[in-house]
């Protein structure tokens, strides 16, 4: 896996899609949230994709899995933020469900990749 570019990984592509969606959704958040929820959501989303990218160049499977674990943690954090954002009426239920579906798909892909590396 280390020979390929992280941009070629389907899980990274899905995570990057989630980053772009997160940025689009948080654009309409109240200005008072710019240093609060907006910032936290964006950091969590970027962390998912960035840790997949960083892990892709690690030389051992143990190291790769470590970065996938960090990515998975950030993904769970982001899922909560989508729920909270909807509860605060910053995004619609439809937007929340769409974001959560992409997050779930990313999570499954990340899990499968990590399991492959454990084998």
Phi, psi at residue 9, to the nearest 5°? Answer: -75, 125
Write out the DSSP string of 76-119: HHHHHHHHHHHHTTSS-HHHHHHHHHHHHHHHHHHHHHHHHHH-
Residue 85 within any structural domain of the chain:
yes
| 81-106 mean pLDDT | 98
36-64 tens-digit pLDDT: 999 999 999 999 999 999 999 999 999 99
Residue 18 has pLDDT above 50, yes or no: yes
Q: What is the pLDDT of residue 116?
A: 92
Residue 37 within any structural domain of the chain:
yes
Q: Tell me what the pLDDT averaged over the chain comes to.
A: 95
Q: Tell me, what CATH number does 100's domain have?
A: 1.20.1440.60
Residue-number span of the structural domain to which 91 is assigned: 6-118
Q: How many domains does the chain have?
A: 1
Q: What is the pLDDT of residue 41?
A: 99
What does the alpha-carbon distance between residue 32 and residue 47 come to, in Å, rounded to a whole number? 23
Residue 67 has pLDDT above 60, yes or no: yes
The first and second tokens of residue 13, run together, are 């592509």
Residue 29 within any structural domain of the chain:
yes
Residue 1 within any structural domain of the chain:
no
Model confidence at 2, in pLDDT bands (50, 70, 90)? very low
């Amino acid at each position: 896996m280390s020979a390929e570019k992280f941009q070629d990984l389907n899980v990274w592509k899905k995570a990057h899609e989630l980053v772009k969606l997160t940025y689009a959704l948080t654009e309409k958040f109240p200005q008072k949230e710019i240093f609060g929820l907006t910032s936290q959501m964006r950091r969590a989303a970027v962390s998912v994709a960035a840790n997949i990218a960083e892990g892709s160049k690690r030389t051992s499977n143990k190291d790769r899995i470590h970065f996938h674990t960090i990515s998975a943690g950030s993904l769970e954090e982001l899922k909560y933020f989508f729920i909270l954002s909807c509860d605060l009426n910053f995004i619609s239920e439809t937007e929340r469900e769409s974001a959560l579906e992409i997050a779930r798909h990313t999570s499954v892909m990340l899990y499968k990749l990590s399991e492959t590396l454990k084998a």
